């Protein structure tokens, strides 16, 4: 049964939502050229088809040698080696070093058979045609990369659920993996309600406001890796709202509804969500400011987030609940660290215990490090967020924070 | 004249490059629907065509009142007000409050003329039909948003050079700005050289490696807001390299060349860049590891970055020089803080004074906060970066860092 009266702490609320999503679902996937897969999430693990490097390579310009031939060599007592040849870049070494032999090799070049070290050019000199002096002893493996030193054949190089950054794209190319299976972007339905809301391109009359939420939330969904599907602006009436929500349930993998701001329209949203299916509303009211009237629900396996109508609350709450839902739908492995910075608070901040507060802050550099300066403005004002670099979190146990306190800021 | 021997500190090298770019150039622009402009950079400032809010609004469900009518009211001595009507959402209030009157209004609703405060529903009770009791005095402005409290008409709400985040998209929609001028993505040429390099889709023979740099750098350029244009893999010979570089100079706003790794091919890159035009090579050699052989140049107003051939060095150095060049070409205003986190070093790290070191690290959460664990691997191994969450910077004055030292990590 939904608990309408108790405000649920945000982390518990999210856990409850995620726990009610179907477990072990395999997300839809598609095959993309690796060069077009930046920021997409792998739908399967990638196994190295061959080792990297695939052949022993020099890391310097120098002479490939058998290290044993240089033991004891020094400036006053060089080791004399016969030049067996020069290794051409991009070609097989094509020779085997005999004892007492060396071969000229450039950075990245392939070592000849039986070579086990490379002496840098600077540590050699040419005695006469076809012979070099090695002025420094080489240890086995010195200036040489072994086959498989980066990656072994058969090794899992990237796990399913990895989001592809430039280095993953590069690593895949190094292995010749030019196509990858990625998770299809989950379709996230966005429904805006409110009799006062009109489309952005229309002239807003007295008492009317333009639809901010559909577009700001679409952008947030897009950034998180989802595909926003806008269902338009709906009136504050049960039937049309339910009809659109049912359509969204059939067509999308997640639903976001921004409710009107009044108590009655918020209750309407909860009723509509309850009518969509089991288990229905899981959380109605979160111990967070802004965003108290947030609704979290699941119907027919589809996560549903009911957001407060005012744009600032809607964006803040979407960051806390919609973004993790998209990550879950993508099967994304949790990142070790999101983009959070620590900064010192510029002023004293009051806060109520028992509630997490999220305050938009502007970050400034100072000789003592980053300073977080609250951007004041009521939570209804979208340009408050425009002036901010991130959100400062005030933990629920705090009854206020003193100027100078180090605080964590989640960057936008 | 280029300085070939002195290694330039990275920040000085970047300053020198940027200082040699044409000043006051107006970047090419294009008009986009605001809903498609996420993460693009504004090419002109945006002026508010009207105030926000455009009409006085209630922030609660309650009764719009003239505050003076409630002065002195309390639970034991309520103020009695006559109900003048109910404000419909999305409609003009359509009435003027007379002294002693109140009007029912919902969150976001328009206040009637002469109302200057809103009393929350909870602080009222209905005495009899058409009359309410106000149980708490209201201050002027209480629970009410004034016209222009978020934005004044004629105010510059977004400056040219602003990168559009979800909240900027929302703010523009609130103002009815449904199209915006944005800077065209600068075309960034990417040239890969190396006789040993083959295309990723080909079978790499002995001594050959697949082209990692063209694709990893394309991804980096894309993320920074540029449009990567790949000129393919070029042999380590002067004529074909110069020809491609000249074509890139004519077609693109920036050029990135990854040189072969040997000394001779690096010199070749420098010669080709010198031949492109004035002022030519500005920096040849940066006091940084990895990335010492980096070349920075300008020819005909176009910035050129010559990167080391090995993929890890190439990506690290591109982050330091190519990304800021793209930001400059976009006319982007500098962000207050990039994505940097502070973490404690897990082990002792040696370092050479006089050189900035960038070390790939893996971040782990611990009860004491984030821990940065170096990902070991020689700088030639691309999967070293795959295993890392970010790059730790060791400042030039350090001769090593002790375990437990707080370090700054730039997240990928």
pLDDT digits (tens, 9 = 90+) for B223-266: 999 999 999 999 999 999 999 999 999 999 999 999 876 778 88
pLDDT of residue A260: 73
A373: nearest Cα among A389, A385, A358 = A389
Q: Report chain A residues whose CB lies below 8 A from the CB of B145.
A: 378, 380-381
Residue A284, Cβ density class (10 Å: 0-12 exposed, 13-18 middle, ≥19 buried) = buried
* Interface contact A362-B61, CB threshold 8 A: no
In this predicted structure, the answer to whether residue B334 has a pLDDT above a threshold of 70 is no
pLDDT for B386 equals 87
- Residue B156, pLDDT above cutoff 60: yes
Look up residue A394 and give its DSSP letter.
E
- The domains of chain A, with CATH numbers, are 10-26+184-329 (3.40.980.10), 29-52+149-183 (3.90.105.10), 57-145 (2.170.190.11), 340-411 (2.40.340.10)
Spell out which residues of chain A touch residue B201, defining contact as CB-CB under 8 Å.
176, 178
> pLDDT exceeding 90 applies to what percent of chain B?
76
Extract the tokens encoding A18.
Answer: 């995620």
Mean pLDDT, chain B, integer: 92
Interval B205-219 mean pLDDT: 96
Structure confidence at residue A259 (pLDDT) = 84
Of B53, B151, B215, the CB nearest to A170: B215
| Residue pairs spanning A and B at CB distance below 8 A | 316
Distance from the A402 Cα atom to the nearest Cα atom in chain B, whole angstroms:
21
Residue B336: pLDDT band with limits 50, 70, 90: very low
The tokens for B296 are 């920075």
Q: Which of residues 339-358 of A touch B (CB under 8 A)?
A: 339-342
In contact, B58 and B143? CB cutoff 8 Å: yes
If you count them, how many residues does chain A have? Answer: 412
pLDDT of residue A351: 86
Residue in B335, B362, B380 nearest the CB of A59: B380
Q: Output the pLDDT for position A203.
A: 94
Sorted by sequence, the CB contacts under 8 Å of residue A218 that are 6+ apart come out as A190, A228, A230, B35, B169
Which positions 218-257 of B are in contact with A (Cβ < 8 Å)? 218-220, 222-223, 236
DSSP B309: S
Helices A311-329 and B166-174 cross at an angle (nearest 10°) of 140
Smallest Cα distance from A64 to chain B, Å: 14
Contacts of A403 (CB under 8 A, 6+ apart): A345, A346, A347, A348
Query: What digits encode the pLDDT tens for the residues A121-165?
Result: 999 999 899 999 999 999 999 999 999 999 999 999 999 999 999
Q: List CB contacts of A91: < 8 A, sequence separation 6 or more.
A: A110, B206, B207
Instruction: Give the whole-angstrom CA distance, residue A121 versus residue B275.
Output: 29
Chain A contacts in chain B segment 258-317 (CB below 8 A): 260-264, 309-311, 315
Helix axes of B213-224 and B311-329: crossing angle, nearest 10 degrees = 30
- Please name the member of B59, B166, B310 whose beta carbon is closest to the beta carbon of A220: B166
Chain A residues within 8 A of B194 when measuring between CB atoms: 89-90, 108
Whether the CB-CB separation of A181 and A234 falls below 8 Å is answered with no
Give how far B97 is from chain A: nearest CA, Å: 17
Q: What is the pLDDT of residue B244?
A: 98
Q: What pLDDT shows up at residue B249?
A: 98
For B30-77, write each residue's pLDDT tens digit.
999 999 999 999 999 999 999 999 999 999 999 999 999 999 999 999
- Which of B85, B192, B215 best tests the A interface by mutation, with the highest count of A CBs <10 A? B215
Q: Which of A110, A121, A215, A371 to mutate to test the interface with B (most CBs of B within 10 A)?
A: A215
Least trusted range by pLDDT, from A372-386, A396-410, B90-104, B285-299: A372-386
Rounded-to-integer distance, Cα A48 and Cα A176, Å: 9
Structure confidence at residue B130 (pLDDT):
94
Interchain CB distance below 8 Å, B170 and A205: no
DSSP B191-259: EEE-TTEE-TTSPP-TT-EE--HHHHHHHHHHHHT-EEEEEEEE-S-HHHHHHHHHHHHHH-SEEEEEP
Tell whether A216 lies on the interface with B, counting CB pairs under 8 A.
yes
Chain centre distance of CA A193: 31
The per-residue pLDDT for B405 is 92
Residue of A nearest to B107 (CA): A262
Residue in A closest to B203 by C-alpha: A176
**What does the alpha-carbon distance between residue B134 and residue B126 come to, in Å, rounded to a whole number?**
9
Instruction: Walk along chain A (412 residues) in steps of 10 and give the mean pLDDT of each run.
Output: 68 96 91 98 97 94 97 94 95 94 95 97 92 96 94 95 95 97 98 95 95 97 97 94 98 94 83 96 92 94 95 93 95 69 89 87 86 82 86 88 90 82
According to the model, what pLDDT value does residue B263 have? 79
Look at A166 and B362 and tell me if their CB atoms are within 8 Å. no
Whether residue B1 is predicted with pLDDT greater than 80 in this model: the reply is: no
The confidence score (pLDDT) of residue A340 equals 77
């Amino acid at each position: 049964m939904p608990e309408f009266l108790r405000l649920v702490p945000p982390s518990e609320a999210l856990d409850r939502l995620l726990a009610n999503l179907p477990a072990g679902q395999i997300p839809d996937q598609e095959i993309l050229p690796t060069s077009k897969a930046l920021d997409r999430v792998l739908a399967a693990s990638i196994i190295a088809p061959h080792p990297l490097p695939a052949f022993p390579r020099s890391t310097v310009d120098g002479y490939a040698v058998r290290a044993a031939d240089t033991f004891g060599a020094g400036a006053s007592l060089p080791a004399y080696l016969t030049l067996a040849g020069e290794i051409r870049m991009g070609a097989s070494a094509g020779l085997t070093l005999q004892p007492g032999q060396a071969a000229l090799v450039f950075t990245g070049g392939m070592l000849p058979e039986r070579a086990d070290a490379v002496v840098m050019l600077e540590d050699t000199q040419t005695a006469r045609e076809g012979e070099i002096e090695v002025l420094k002893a080489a240890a086995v493996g010195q200036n040489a990369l072994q086959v498989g030193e980066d990656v072994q054949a058969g090794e899992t190089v990237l796990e399913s659920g990895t989001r592809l950054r430039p280095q993953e794209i590069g690593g895949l190319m190094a292995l010749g993996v030019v196509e990858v299976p990625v998770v299809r972007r989950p379709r996230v339905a966005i429904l805006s309600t409110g009799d006062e809301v009109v489309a952005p391109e229309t002239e807003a009359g007295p008492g009317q406001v333009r639809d901010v939420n559909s577009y700001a939330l679409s952008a947030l969904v897009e950034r998180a890796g989802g595909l926003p599907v806008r269902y338009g602006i709906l009136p504050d009436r049960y039937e049309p709202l339910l009809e659109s929500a049912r359509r969204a349930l059939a067509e999308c993998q997640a639903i976001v509804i921004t409710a009107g701001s009044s108590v009655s329209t918020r209750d309407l949203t909860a009723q509509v969500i309850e009518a969509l299916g089991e288990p229905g509303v899981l959380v109605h009211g979160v111990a967070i400011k802004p965003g108290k009237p947030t609704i979290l629900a699941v119907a027919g396996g589809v996560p549903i987030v009911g957001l407060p109508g005012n744009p600032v609350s809607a964006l803040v709450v979407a960051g806390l609940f919609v973004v993790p839902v998209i990550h879950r739908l993508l099967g994304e492995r949790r990142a070790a660290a999101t983009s959070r910075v620590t900064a010192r608070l510029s002023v004293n901040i009051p806060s109520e215990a028992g509630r997490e507060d999220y305050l938009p802050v502007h970050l400034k550099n100072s000789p003592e490090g980053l300073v977080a300066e609250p951007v004041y403005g009521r939570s209804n004002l979208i340009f408050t967020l425009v002036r901010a670099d991130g959100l400062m979190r005030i933990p629920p146990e705090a009854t206020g924070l003193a100027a100078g306190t180090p605080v964590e800021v989640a960057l936008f």
